[in-house]
Homo-oligomer: A and B are copies of this chain.
Amino acid sequence: MSMPKTIDVTELILRDAHQSLMATRMATEDMIPACEDLDRAGFWSLECWGGATFDSCIRFLNEDPWERLRTFKRLMPNTPLQMLLRGQNLVGYRHYEDGVVDRFVQKAAENGIDVFRVFDALNDIRNLGRALEAVRRTGKHAQGTISYTTSPFHTVAGFVKLAVQLRELGADSICIKDMAALLKPQPAYDLVRALKTALGDEVRVHVHVHATTGVTLVSLMKAIEAGADCVDTAISSMSLGPGHNPTESLVEMLDGTPYATRLDKARLLRIKEHFAKIRPLYTEFLSNITGVETEIFQSQIPGGMISNMESQLKQQGAADRIKEVLAEVPHVRRDAGYPPLVTPSSQIVGTQAVFNVMMGRYKVMTGEFADLMLGYYGDAIAPRDTEVIELAHKHARKEPITCRPADLLKPEWDGLRAQAMALDGCNGTEEDVLTYAMFPQVATKFFGRRHDGPQNVGKEAAARPVAKDAPKTAAAAVDDGQGPVRSEITYDVKFGGRTHKVTVTPA
């Protein structure tokens, strides 16, 4: 028998695992004891930065995200460090002007990031180009991402076309990112095979799946059989539910097949045991979803979003309407041209579905949904509903656009820099300017209290001073960079002759 093919693995424990399972609350100090084993276990990369972690660090943990990154780099010098970058949105929720994109990427690389996974919620290639170009300039690994979803318009051929465009923009490798666990085994096989055929076997294909629907470890097996080079998993004690498939199970799954990982089982066991002790400290932040949810194949709403919707409907005394809302989501998604549902499109579509059920379809429209309909987040794969576009136009008093959204932005770096430098506690670095650029209000508070040091919100840390205003909601809070800091959005809506406060928390 010939040597098995090596399957590379990206470990997610330091970023997506705790973002998905415990609202991104894990403190750096609770990760440090596992770093040596993580660095030596044989992973292709360690995802440890970006996504919601940047926001969570400054909003909830009083941690400097750049300092966290430098700590990781110091403790894990042997394994590439990876981040998730939201294309033109960077680690925020709005489009940033190109100069900010360039500087953010440059500083992330300087502070320790080796692999940049770059995605856009709408798969609009125009939202990805600048970030990929910026990564290329740093000499680091640029990974172009397909946000995976299903619809009558999403086809293997369409995803392959996107991948070819990503390669033309300089992507070193391609990632299939399946944030809602929608990637079934046969489609996984077909898509990976088609990518390998179109791009050439030498172009690495990485596969990122969540575990929520229970089928995606099988999808990883099929992706590997189709030629995938690297798959993403999380150590077992921080896996499953809305999180990911267990790293150790992946290793065992390949036993006897023509594939094998290079992972060190003894180190995996130690990593597992460490996080098994850490996890209960964050019980209050743990996801309600612990089992498998196959209804997601219909609603496509990621697990974390469903539980948020449920609690918000409950506040309105409308808990019994969750099924109507979940049934409404596919309608809203169709009207919006079938966007993949991932931050921020998942929140935007989900919130509009709540409004449609509570108030009547499009009787009330959020500003974000109007922007989505009018092209301010980019282009959708399918035509958007013209009547709903017209309603959005009336509601928002903005014209529809067809250009790249960031083309409307004026250079903003100098202004951001001047504002940041004027703040108490700003340390004068470009990193601090970038922190301010991402979340101006949160950063302003953070700079003022940074000297207090990290505030671990884990249970046994009760004695430490915990930020009073840290709400117990998901970390991926909305900060539009202009209005007040909002981890929840509250709307006053009239329904049945009474005014209701509708509060929507982004997932």
Contacts and interface: CB of A to CB of B under 8 A. Distances in A.
B294 A246 contact: yes
A255 B292 CA distance: 17
A269 B297 CA distance: 13
Interface string A189-214: 01000000000000000000000011
A258 to B, nearest CB: 9
Instruction: Report the contact-size class of chain A (Cβ under 8 Å from the partner).
Output: 20 to 34
Interface in A287-324: 290-295, 297
Given A215-B252, A215-B253, A256-B187, A291 B221 contact: no
Contact of A184 (B246, B252, B292): B252
Given A236-B294, A249-B292, A290-B290, A215 B214 contact: no
A255 B184 contact: yes
A218 interface: yes
A285 to B, nearest CB: 17
A239 B295 CA distance: 16
Contacts of A213: 249, 252
A24 interface: no
A325 interface: no
A131 to B, nearest CB: 33
A291 B238 CA distance: 9
A278 to B, nearest CB: 14
Contact of A221 (B218, B246, B248, B294): B218
Contacts of A190: 256
A155 interface: no
Contact of A294 (B186, B249, B293): B249
Interface in A242-263: 245-246, 248-249, 251-253, 255-257
A256 B185 CA distance: 8
Contacts of A214: 217, 236, 239-240, 245-246, 248-249, 252
A291 B184 contact: no
Contacts of A237: 291
Contacts of A256: 184-187, 190
Contacts of A251: 294
Contacts of A218: 217-218, 221, 253
Identify which of A186, A240, A294 gathers the most chain B CB atoms within 10 Å of its CB. Answer: A294
A245 B211 CA distance: 13
A294 B215 contact: no
A45 to B, nearest CB: 22
Given A213-B252, A246-B214, A249-B215, A236 B184 contact: no
A293 B297 CA distance: 27
A201 B295 CA distance: 35
30 contacts: A184-B252, A184-B255, A185-B253, A186-B257, A187-B255, A187-B256, A190-B256, A213-B249, A214-B236, A214-B245, A215-B249, A215-B252, A215-B253, A217-B217, A217-B218, A218-B221, A218-B253, A236-B291, A236-B293, A236-B294, A239-B291, A239-B292, A246-B291, A248-B292, A248-B294, A249-B292, A249-B294, A252-B294, A269-B295, A290-B290
Q: Which 4 A-B pairs have the closest CB atoms?
A: A214-B249, A186-B256, A248-B294, A215-B253
Interface of A: 184-187, 190, 213-215, 217-218, 221, 236-237, 239-240, 245-246, 248-249, 251-253, 255-257, 269, 290-295, 297
Given A214-B245, A215-B253, A218-B218, 10 more contacts: A185-B257, A186-B257, A187-B256, A214-B246, A214-B249, A214-B252, A221-B221, A236-B292, A246-B292, A252-B297
